[in-house]
Chains A and B, each alone.
Chain A
Amino acid sequence: MAWLERVPDPEIPVVSIVDLGIVRAVHCEDGVCEVTITPTYSGCPAMRAIEDDIVNVLKAHGMTQVRVVTRLAPAWTTDWMSERGREALRNYGIAPPRERAVDISGIVRRADPDVPCPQCGSMRTRLISAFGSTACKALYRCNACGEPFDYFKAH
């Protein structure tokens, strides 16, 4: 697990796949490893790269055989993101996901979540677009400091 903590997410390199909550289980015995991962979003194009990175890192540490298994259930949630991961996102300029107190389920429309600006901390922010540069993010702008920023959606 410690080795995998140094595998960065391919699209957000400041966060490791462990801190994102993608790695669900690791089992190593006599140089043979089985790593269970769960996809973030169904169509996340980074999953293939993540599998390759896991194999490469473990082989570099002397593992002879590495198998990566994908598990769908239970579905990944941003609740699994570590505190260290959230802090790293904030320092990188991406607002981390709000806690689960923000209701993300259901079909009924509701107000956009209040998200503090990762630059100046102001709560005077507004949603610009439901999707940002990747499926896991939305685009906000801070009305206090004027900076646009990505928000890693609670999911």
Chain B
Amino acid sequence: MDDALFEYALRMGDTTLVLSHRLSEWTGHGPVLEEELALSNVSLDLLGQARMWLTLAGDIEGRGRDEDKLAYLRDAPQYRNYLLVEQDNGHYGDTMARQFLFDTWHYFLLEKLSASTDERVAAIAAKGLKEVAYHARRSADLIVRLGDGTDDSHARMQAALEGAWRFAGELFHDDAVTRQLAGQGIVPLHAELAPHWENHVRGVIEEATLSLPPVQESRHPAYAGGIAGRHTEALGYLLAEMQFLQRAYPGASW
């Protein structure tokens, strides 16, 4: 089996799955109905993408693990999602700061992955890219509205941005997996995404009258490790809820 591609498909699958679950926690708790509908729909798009990535991972592994087994029967140290997406929702500004930083990265990544030399990767990415472009534009819009809003929303948005910022650096981290796959033209080096990401993020942040935190503050090694299975406390609670039914009633189905 192709170990590197299996790992990478897990990273993409776990990252979209965990963020999808986080966003679904807003269902029934949104600040207004329209925002709740939007986050629920973004969550659904990400869940669909997660299913495709995890199915691909299971196919590559070839040991009979399907999307459900991979989602429900692994513990936190086996999860390969980025730390940013597992962080608690906080208030709406916190959620949108996390979403904006993520969507922007996701967009530039999928744009590259849709030109992958692996047909399966390219197909999933091209499908997701259309959805993610819409997510990214919407979350940028919210950052501007909240940043360039009232004094209170401005202050909260700035604090939210600084809170999410320290987890952004991991998105651009390269290791043996990405280096090997980049050599085969299957994925881009993640470091190469950083200039595009920073450029877009800076433009939106300025329009939102917010201040961009120093880039080096997003690069502290303590705030990385998710893709190697070293997670923050937040993931364990998330999995405890998401996996409860399959853990308590193994094999239960509709």
Contact = CB atoms under 8 A, between A and B. Distances in A.
Contacts of B124: 72
Interface residues of B, number: 35
B48 A41 contact: yes
Interface string A127-143: 01111111100010000
A72 B45 contact: no
A73 B127 contact: yes
B41 A73 contact: no
A94 to B, nearest CB: 16
Contact of B45 (A42, A105, A153): A42
A129 B45 contact: no
Contacts of A76: 127
Interface in B112-131: 119, 122-124, 126-128, 130-131
Choose among B47, B119, B124, B130 the residue with the greatest number of A CB atoms under 10 Å from its CB.
Answer: B130
Interface in A36-85: 39, 41-45, 72-77
A134 B41 contact: yes
Interface of A: 39, 41-45, 72-77, 104-110, 128-135, 139, 153, 155
16 contacts: A43-B51, A44-B44, A73-B127, A75-B126, A76-B127, A77-B130, A106-B133, A107-B104, A107-B133, A107-B140, A128-B34, A130-B134, A131-B41, A134-B41, A135-B131, A153-B134
Interface of B: 34, 37-38, 40-49, 51-52, 104, 107-108, 119, 122-124, 126-128, 130-131, 133-134, 136-138, 140-141, 200
